[in-house]
Amino acid sequence: MRLARLLWWGGGIAVLGAVLLVAAVIAFGLIASRPDRVVIGPPPPDLPAEDVSIASASGATLRGWFIAGEPGGGAVVLLHGVRANRLSMQRRARLLNAAGFAILLFDFQAHGESTGARLTFGHLEGMDANSAVAFMRARLPAERVGALGTSLGGAAALLGPEPLPVDALVIESVYPEIHAAIANRTQATLGARLGAVLAPPLTALFLRVLPPVLGIDPTTLRPIDYIAQARTPVLVASGIDDRYTRIAEATAMFERAPAPKEFWAVPDAGHVDLEAFDPEAYRRRVLPFLAEALQPTRH
C-alpha cells in the first residue's frame, strides 16, 4: 500500500511537471510572438521621406517611409529585424540614399506602426516583404530594385513564399532554420552547460506547440531551403562571433545560394547591427555589391 501511494504521488508529480513545462513553453511562445507596436512619428529632418501605407498580402497595413533617389540610381527595400522597426534602418537609408538609391523603410506586421496580431518569425513577414517590393516596383517601374534584410528581415526576404523577385539581395545574420534559431538562443540564454542539456528538449517542445498556438508549420521556416531558389545576386553577411546565427550556419546558407554570390564574415561581430558595428567595412562591402547590380548605367 505504501509503495502504491508513493508511485501514485510520483506519477502525479511527473504529470504536473509535464503540464507545467508545456504551459511554460506555450507561454514563452506567446511572449516571443507578442506584437511590438510603437509610435514612430514623423521622419527625422535629415531624411526627406514621404509617409506611405502598403496593403500587405499578410492582411496587415504596413506603415513606412519612401525616399526618392536619383534617376537610374536603383532602389532598395530595407527589411528590419525582429522586435525592431524602420527606425533601426535609418543609418542604412542615409548611406544608400547618399549613393543615389531610392529607399523604402517600413514596419513589418505587428511591428512599429503597422497592424498585425503576432510576430510569426518570417511567415507573415515574408508576405510583407513581397508587398513592399511590389510597391517599390509600382512606384519606380524604370528602376532596378534590391532588398536588404537583417535577421528576421533577411528570413522574410527568402520565405515569402519564395525568394523576393529583386535584382540584388543582401541578407545579414539570418537563421538557416527555426530549429537552430531557437536552440541557439536557448543555449546563449542559459549558458553553454545548462543550455546544452535543456536546449534540445525545449526546442523540440516549442516546435511542437508552434502550429496549434501560432498556426505556423515549422517546416516552412527554413530559409536555407529557399535561398537555393534565389535568381539574383546574393550577399550573405554574418558575424564570426554570432551566437544566434553561428558562422557555420551562415556559411551553409551561402553554399546553398546559386551564383553570383558573395560572403562576408565580419570579424569580432556577434548578432549585432553590422553597419553600426563597422561602418567603413560595411560601406566597402555592401555599397559596391548593390551598385553593380542596381546601377548598371554607372558601371
Q: Residues 151, 79: one domain?
A: yes
Contact between 261 and 192 under an 8 Å Cβ cutoff? The reply is: no
Instruction: Tell me whether residue 37 is in a domain.
Output: no
High-pLDDT (> 90) share of the chain, %: 77
Q: Residues 293, 204: one domain?
A: no
pLDDT at 27: 58
pTM of the full structure: 0.91
DSSP states of 71-86 as a string?
A: TTS-EEEEE--TT--G
pLDDT at 214: 77
Contact between 126 and 117 under an 8 Å Cβ cutoff? The reply is: no
**Would the pLDDT of 299 be above 80?**
no
Instruction: Tell me whether residue 83 is in a domain.
Output: yes
Count of structural domains within the chain? 2
Q: What would the pLDDT profile of 118-173 be if each residue is shown by its tens digit?
A: 999 999 999 999 999 999 999 999 999 999 999 999 999 999 889 999 999 999 99
Cell (9 digits) for 274: 553590422
Q: Residues 149, 281: one domain?
A: yes
Contact between 77 and 129 under an 8 Å Cβ cutoff? The reply is: yes
CA 116 to CA 275: how far, in whole Å? 28
Q: Residues 193, 233: one domain?
A: no
Provide the 10 A C-beta neighbour count for residue 288. 14
Cell (9 digits) for 10: 510520483
- Expressed as residue numbers, the domain containing 153 is 44-177+221-298
Q: Residues 127, 184: one domain?
A: no
Q: What would the pLDDT profile of 21-76 be if each residue is shown by its tens digit?
A: 555 555 556 667 899 999 999 999 999 999 999 999 999 999 999 999 999 999 99
Contact between 41 and 24 under an 8 Å Cβ cutoff? The reply is: no
pLDDT-wise least confident of 11-15, 93-97, 144-148: 11-15
Average pLDDT rounded to a whole number, residues 180-194 = 90
Q: Is 10 exposed, middle or buried (0-12, 13-18, 19+ CB in 10 A)?
A: exposed
Instruction: Tell me whether residue 171 is in a domain.
Output: yes
pLDDT at 284: 98
Q: Residues 69, 136: one domain?
A: yes
**Would the pLDDT of 88 be above 70?**
yes
